[in-house]
Amino acid sequence: MTPQDASIASRKICDLAPVVPVLVIDDAASAADLARALVAGGLPALEVTLRTPAALDAIREMAQVPGGFVGAGTLLTPKDVEAAKAAGATFGVSPGVTDALLDACEANDLPLLPGTSTPSDVMKLLDRGYTVMKFFPAEANGGAPALKAIGAPIPQVKFCPTGGISMKNVNDYLALSNVLCCGGSWVAPADKVKAGDWAGIEALAREAAALRK
């Protein structure tokens, strides 16, 4: 997969809904129910972060849910890429980038939303052929004003900002011309997941899916 093809695929994922749920899953037994609730609420693109021992099993379970597009977040190494692909991930997300990670994603045909935080990051990826990227951690790096400023000299790059985004500030990002969607964990709060409150999570998903650029 070329960087250009990866960005085309990532763009399609980002265009599915205004919000991509960022999920930290401790128990894979609840993964399918969680995915069904989010998809039913209008959020089909799901990022499962590889931060827990249950993450890969959760991806396997979610990959079976009709209408969902499950990706693996927190990709750090080529081994992460291979494991995510084997588990059924259809896209990847990383907090930053290395040449080894990019090489692995391209070799394994896994579209990547590569993490950036500075204009230099963006320029390096653009030089390689990537035009769709993650901006992370968004709020800690200046928020929507910073991303708007990056877009002025580099308008051809589009972003999915993640990190510190909630219903309180998501519209600030979605209003930007260089933002396709936002990543956020607020649509699947840990207490609702633990309680199995799938109706509550579906309601939060519907609220997020109703956001418009």
**Domain boundaries 3-209, CATH class:** alpha beta
pTM for the predicted model, two decimal places: 0.95
Can you list the residues of the chain whose pLDDT is less than 50? Answer: none
pLDDT for the residue 213: 59
Q: Does the annotation count 134 as an active-site position?
A: yes
pLDDT digits (tens, 9 = 90+) for 134-191: 999 999 999 999 999 999 999 999 999 999 999 999 999 999 999 999 999 999 999 9
The catalytic position among 85, 106, 134, 202 is 134
pLDDT for the residue 174: 98
pLDDT for the residue 99: 97
Domain boundaries, the chain: 3-209
Ordered alpha helix ranges (H), the chain: 3-14, 31-40, 55-62, 78-87, 99-107, 119-128, 143-151, 170-174, 190-195, 198-209
Q: Which residues lie below 8 Å from residue 86, measured CB to CB, with a gap of 6+?
A: none
The catalytic position among 47, 61, 106, 202 is 47
